[in-house]
Amino acid sequence: MSNKEIKASKKKNVQVAVRVRPMNSGEIDAKGRPIVKVDYVAKSIGLKEKSGVKTFGPFDRVYGPETTQSELYKELVTPLVKEVMSGYNCTIFAYGQTGTGKTFTMEGQHDDSADHSWDTDPTAGIIPRCLHHVFTELERQELDEYSVRISYVELYNEELFDLLGSGNYDQSRLRIFEDPIRKGGVIINGMEEVPVRNRNEVYRLLKMGAERRKTAATLMNVSSSRSHSVFTVTVVMRENTTTGEELLKQGKLYLVDLAGSENIGRSGALNARAREAGNINQSLLTLGRVITSLTSNAPHIPYRESKLTRILQDSLGGKSITTIIATLSPCSSNFEVCFFCCCIFCARS
């Protein structure tokens, strides 16, 4: 992404990328057909219908099934890390139907036996890769002092929990308060912020958080995340200028893995699962309204309608850059959800 494109992204605050995963074995065994066409030149997505091809776009970026983890990161995330290192806040959302690759995009897979650099690791997702990238940049800049802290929370049924908390899950419930100093800001009382020094510590904490995160089997996915997760990286940098002044910069990167958007009937959700799906869809709708309000410069932004948008308020407005990665299944069985949950949502953005 060029400097010109970064400036354009800043002006509109929100950029949208679409990632189409490959067909999986379940879809192939069920005789599903690939119906999604990626046009890299027009930056559009085509959905094949009986009457022809319905086209959506242009988007800021489109990625097909052959796109690697490294390729997506270099083009989409590297510019955002540079912004964070300059003291700005950025947010990346992974949004889409259950089972479309959101968690793979955000977390990826970890190979303990390999020793890759951040830009060559073939399987790492955005979260571990960006931490590896940040540490590499901090060492290269030879700062006088720096620190990196992470927090990891989940929002489940409109309740906030600390995935890095030391107690049991129920004891890790968090409360949100209005910040008395920063107008519109919030304070998450009791949230753990853990200092990290290398990528191995990041993988350990990711694994710890994943084991505590709420999942449940649905017809769409054997292990479906039933919560939104927010992984926050805070980078603080201190250096002395040639005139002896102390320069302090703080940047934040919010990495958000949204729960799968659900068609309650198709997912097989019953009773408690259906209530979960309803809460998930409601918070996703609120997020959509907030982003639409921001991009249209509306006088009122409905942050308070959902805890998800409340805790992300600092990262969505002002000079912050928000990137949405909409993940799609290419299979014919997912046409309606693909059309409604991803393409229309992105068009609003």
The residues spanned by each domain of the chain are 3-348
Annotated binding-site positions for ATP: 96-103
Q: Classify the phi-psi angles of 318: left when phi > 0, otherwise alpha if psi is within -120 to 50, otherwise beta.
A: left
Calpha distance 63→112 (Å, rounded) = 28
pTM of the model: 0.86
- Record the tokens describing residue 126, joined without a space: 């955005």
Calpha distance 39→107 (Å, rounded) = 26
For 157, half-sphere exposure in the C-beta direction (CA atoms, 13 angstrom radius) is: 9
pLDDT tens by residue, 240-296: 877 878 889 999 999 999 887 654 444 444 455 566 666 777 788 888 888 888 878
Annotated binding-site positions: 96-103
The string over 256-268, giving b where at least 16 C-beta atoms fall within 10 Å of a residue's C-beta and e elsewhere, is: bbbbbbbbbebbe
- Record the tokens describing residue 139, joined without a space: 């060492």
CB 48 within 8 A of CB 344: no
* pLDDT for res 315: 80
* Cβ atoms within 10 Å of 139's Cβ, excluding its own: 10
* pLDDT for res 142: 78
Q: Which CATH number fits domain 3-348: 3.30.1370.160, 3.40.850.10, 3.30.70.1350, 3.90.10.10?
A: 3.40.850.10
* pLDDT for res 213: 75
For 165, half-sphere exposure in the C-beta direction (CA atoms, 13 angstrom radius) is: 20
Residue of 262, 244, 239, 242 lying closest to 102 (CA atoms): 262
Which residue positions in the chain have pLDDT lower than 50? 1-2, 4-10, 216-224, 263-270
pLDDT tens by residue, 65-102: 999 999 999 999 999 999 999 999 999 999 888 788 88
